[in-house]
Amino acid sequence: MLKIWGRANSSNVKKPLWACAEMGVPYERIDAGLQFGVVNTDEYKAMNPMGLIPVIDDEGFVLWESNAIVRYLCAKHGKDTFWPSDLKIRAQADRWMDWQCTTMGPALGTAFLHMVRLPNDKRDPALVHANVPKAADLWRVVDRQLAQTKWLAGEHFTMGDMPLGILAYTWMELKLEDYDLAHHRVKLDNVWRWYDQLQAMKHYRDIVQIGLT
């Protein structure tokens, strides 16, 4: 059976968990990372030299990097749906996945780390104040896409919605008011409509919307 290493509250681990749930792929999840350790063992580093989560082992095929994992799983189990066969639609799904990793992820992830994840004495409010407005501007870019299409890569839900869909929950849940930054979470019509579409999905609610910790 497919094995997935990583704690369930990690946004990067949620990607393969949610993808598998949507496609009905059974898996075994092994807790790893932060309080669970595991990631610094020689055995784990042999699977992922970065010592990060997630990692999968699919009947002996080991893969790390969350978006590569989602692509692999969707190509294997969700061809023509989650992994679009149409080259141009797939390229757009890929684009939003890469953009999550290179652009939205660093901005929103830094704000999240310093608002939620790090212990109080390690948090830097200046980084929260610098990154929340950046993330807010980036959601406007997403909004412009969603003004043209129902989902990020077109008229159907694809793998392209997964990484940013997970970060949408983070964005909606961050306690911006604690930093006097709530005015940055402007209600963008199309992002909010897309978020409602995501929230209508059972596996999104069960796997992604589990509280920010």
Ligand X SMILES: N[C@@H](CCC(=O)N[C@@H](CS)C(=O)NCC(=O)O)C(=O)O
Which residues make up the interface to ligand X (CB under 6 A)? 10-12, 33-34, 39, 52-53, 65-67
- Three-state helix/strand/coil letters over 74-104: HHHHCECCCECCCHHHHHHHHHHHHHHHHHH
Q: Minimum Å distance from CB 14 to ligand X?
A: 9
Q: Which residue is nearest to ligand X (CB)?
A: 33
**Closest of 119, 142, 153 to residue 192, by C-alpha:** 142
* Cβ proximity to ligand X, 9 vs 199, nearer residue: 9
Query: Which residue is listed with tokens 């890469």?
Result: 98
Least distance CB 156 / ligand X (angstroms)? 24
In the chain the first and final C-alpha atoms are separated, in Å, by: 28
What minimum distance in Å lies between the beta carbon of 11 and ligand X?
Answer: 5
Q: How far is the CB of 39 from ligand X (least distance, A)?
A: 5
Measured from the CB atom, is 11 or 158 closer to ligand X?
A: 11
Between residues 66 and 131, which has the closer beta carbon with respect to ligand X? 66
Tell how far CA 168 is from the center of its chain.
Answer: 8
